[in-house]
Chain A
């Protein structure tokens, strides 16, 4: 069929109906896929924990009581029923810290992902569209970025600017842009010469118009998929930063910080590190399942991710 006929076919339904039908189809597909349901449940659990933390949490997460330090989970000898999963090295309740920890994890991973997505997409668009030297330079910078040890960047930026939330987001954002840039660039390269672009150009469309009105919307589905997958990686990266002592400062609870604090006690008080580790694992699993499903319905070509 010619392009025109294709276009005609897609206008068979009116705009309104088409959108509603599409949503219904999506929800139906979601219910069918158990993995995606689990993923959605996980994501919702995290979001709800973050929002309703003060209501859900049995204790104040930063209240410390050295007398009650290192209590085991309730089912072991020495456990205390008011501290279901035990206490940490300063006597703080693990459950409460896990619940409040969701806040930081969400804020940090969402912000970092948005930052790197915007940065990467912009670079990818420019690189793919203009090609030539612009493309070369950006791709070399990408190589430098990839070969660069993350630790060094983290230590430098955070050590210089201070270990607060913004700087951590900046560090994580800077290290994440390459994948967006590469994928967007690949898309643009294949779309650039397509017919509909040449026709827009023939109609007198400027470069800017072409990039933002025509190329960009095609790039959105793969970006969404990458975002969901990267979100999981950001949560793990926050843990890595806390590990290096560069994470969010005490006493604010973060899952990564709890992991790091629990490392020394792994052999004797395993619950300090194991529960945050489990939570991270489950949330990452959930996000990945959701992301996989999204990828399947949005663009099956993206199985490479």
Chain B
């Protein structure tokens, strides 16, 4: 009987051992490793970078960002602002979807209006309440009518608004589309084995020319050390999100190299000034800002892979003002300010932080708390699981006195950072500065970009003066690349296979 059991197990094991193998990892396939699988192939229905990195191969947008984050035209041949509430786009002719359908203005109307309709319950809501309707002028011209002036339309269209093939989408439905996408992009979808790999192949008829690399495979590997191992065994060509201390494992002469780029993502410590406590006093906030040695912390905790910022914007974000610098590290002055504010003997302080959501977030929080303890503030870190953090602390405005968060604004326009994070009354905002509110409201409602630049400059100064944030830095993303690949990391965290090639 037991012999039978053992035999059964062995047979079962052998039978299952020859499951679907990884598609032949041949020389023509580039293997890109991210941390997670995308959740869907529907370009309008997700909000995660790993999904963007898939969709950027399959779909095109009207506009795009070049590696220096300059806006350039992609599917749009030209565009102009007709009036405060109307944008007109002329698109390229002769672009076809992977299944042969033509891409015309009607496809854009279909897609943009789909995104703008709350009834579709899509996870991208940027155009809801913004786009009134899309008017098709002729096969290759259309106008977007907005409900109110929307100066960031072009910035948004660099990221959102991929056209969908109407006939295919309506015949098969969104659920089927989410696993079998059809777009206009440089790569066609071949196969998706969930949590295992995604296989794409070159679209030879792509309107910018056939891509140099013929096959692309994406694999999700959650564990950072395992990702690096995949690079070392040459199973992977590009690996993402590498913690700094693993960098030395990836720099192998002749086998692999490290590629870094300042990230679109900023990490910051924000105060809740609306709740009672020492942090409601500006002088205390200033003291905290001066009492934390971010230079050293970045150097040590991140091995220098971070850039200190003086405002919530990076230098690539429109509205950035380089003259607004962070507070200098000055623990003596900090102690003075604390005494002035009435806390000569410090006070108890809790710093709330997520755990593992951002690179070394918990470590950074602990390092910061350590600095604060040196100037007399009895600081302690409380970490939370992400779901709990978002639900019960962020959304419930329950994270006083201070908390850590990250923000990756790929529209590269100031409004999408400052507005959701600091405008009074919004979900993620725990401050209330009337001067700032006025600037924010004005900035999103006028079309004159020069005036907007000045507005956001002023906003940055208000933010620094009021010390809404104790500190902030821009991450530096670290990638590992196989020696045979030509590629440089991008600030917007995008992996554009079309721009990649193999070295001869």
Touch between A and B in complex, CB under 8 Å?
A: yes
Of the stretches B24-32, B243-251, B458-466, B473-481, the one at the interface is B243-251
CB pair B385–A90 under 8 Å, yes or no, is no
- CA–CA, A246 and B382, complex, Å: 11
Say yes or no: is B366 at the interface (Cβ < 8 Å to chain A): yes
A250 close to B362 (CB less than 8 A): yes
A sample of 5 more A-B contacts (CB under 8 A), given A64-B366, A266-B225, A268-B245, is A69-B301, A163-B384, A251-B366, A264-B224, A265-B245
Say yes or no: B245 contacts A90, CB within 8 Å. Answer: no
Residue of A nearest to B245 (CB): A268
Which one, B369, B370, B385, contacts A159 given CB within 8 A?
B385
CA distance A249 to B366 in the complex (A): 11
Known: A69-B300, A89-B363. A268 touches B383 (CB 8 A): no
**A 252-287 contacts with B by CB, 8 A:** 264-269
CB-based closest 6 A-B pairs: A66-B300, A245-B355, A159-B388, A64-B370, A267-B225, A268-B245
- Chain A residue nearest in CB terms to B382: A249
Q: With an 8 A cutoff between CB atoms, is A244 at the interface?
A: yes
Give the one of A70, A246, A264 with max B CB within 10 A.
A264
Q: Is the CB of B367 within 8 A of A264?
A: no
A88 → chain B closest CB, angstroms: 10
Q: Please name all residues of chain B whose beta carbon is closer than 8 Å to the beta carbon of A66 when the two chains form the complex.
A: 296-297, 300-301, 367, 370
A269 CB, nearest partner CB in chain B, Å = 7
The contact sample of 25 A-B pairs, CB cut-off 8 A, is A66-B296, A66-B300, A66-B301, A66-B367, A67-B300, A69-B301, A89-B363, A90-B366, A90-B370, A159-B388, A159-B392, A163-B383, A244-B385, A245-B356, A245-B384, A245-B385, A246-B385, A249-B380, A249-B381, A250-B366, A251-B369, A264-B225, A267-B246, A267-B249, A269-B245
Residues of B within 8 A of A67 (CB): 296, 300
Closest B residue, CB atoms, query A68? B300
Least distance between A254 CB and chain B CB atoms (Å): 14
B434 within 8 A of A: no
Per the 8 Å Cβ criterion, residues 301-331 of B in contact with A are 301
In the complex, whether A211 has a CB less than 8 A from a CB of chain B is no
B276 at the interface (CB under 8 A from A): no
Number of A interface residues at 8 Å Cβ cutoff, please give it.
22
In the bound complex, residues from chain A placing their C-beta under 8 Å from that of B337 are none
B387 is an interface residue with CB less than 8 A from chain A: yes
B388–A267 touching, CB < 8 Å: no
Judge if A215 is at the interface, Cβ distance under 8 Å.
no
- Write out the residue numbers on chain A whose beta carbons fall within 8 Å of the beta carbon of B224: 264
- Inter-subunit contact A64/B300 (CB<8 Å): no
Cβ–Cβ contact A264 & B300, under 8 A: no
B-side contacts of A250, CB under 8 Å:
362, 366, 381, 383
Of A244, A251, A266, A267, the most chain B CB neighbours within 10 A belong to A267
A244 contact set on B, CB distance < 8 A: 385
Partner of A249, one of B228, B297, B300, B383: B383
A268, B251: Cα distance in complex, Å: 14
A155 within 8 A of B: yes
Name the interface residues of A57-109: CB closer than 8 Å to any CB of B: 64, 66-67, 69-70, 89-90
CB distance from A273 to the nearest CB of B (A): 11
User: CA separation between A70 and B382, bound complex, in Å?
Assistant: 23
Q: Known contacts being A245-B356, A266-B225, is A64 close to B367, with CB within 8 Å?
A: yes
- Whole-angstrom CA separation of A89 from B361 in the bound complex: 12
Selected from A90, A249, A267, A268, the residue in CB contact (under 8 A) with B363 is: A90
Q: Which residues of B contact A64 (CB under 8 A)?
A: 366-367, 370
| Contacting residues, chain A, for B297 (C-beta < 8 A) | 66
Given contacts A64-B367, A159-B387, A159-B388, contact A70 B381 (CB under 8 A): no
Query: A269 to chain B: which residues have CB within 8 Å?
Result: 245
Q: List residues of chain A with CB within 8 A of the CB of B367.
A: 64, 66, 90
Chain B residues near A265 (CB-CB < 8 A)? 245
Residues of chain A within 8 A of B300, CB atoms compared = 66-67, 69
Which residues 18-48 of B have a CB within 8 angstroms of A? none
Residue interface bits B370-402, CB-to-A below 8 A is 1, else 0: 100000000011111101100010000000000
A267 to B246, CA, bound (A): 8
Instruction: Determine which residue in B300, B355, B362 has the highest number of CB atoms from chain A within 10 A of its CB, and name it.
Output: B300
A245 in contact with B383 (CB, 8 Å): yes
Residue of B with least CB distance to A154 = B385
Q: Nearest Cβ in chain A — how far from B377, in angstroms?
A: 15
Q: Mark A226-254, 1 if CB is under 8 A from B, else 0.
A: 00000000000000000011100111000
Taking the closest CB of chain B, its distance from the CB of A271, in whole angstroms, is 13
B369 neighbours in A (Cβ, 8 Å): 251
Q: Which of B186-231 contact A (CB under 8 A)?
A: 224-225, 228
- In Å, the complex CA distance between A89 and B303 comes to 12
**A250 and B365 alpha carbons, distance in the complex (Å):** 10
**Distance between A86 CB and nearest chain B CB, rounded to angstroms:** 14
Q: Considering only CB atoms, which chain B residue lies closest to A66 in the complex?
A: B300
Contacts of A163 in B (CB 8 A): 382-384
Give the contacts of B331-379 with A (CB-CB under 8 A): 355-356, 362-363, 366-367, 369-370
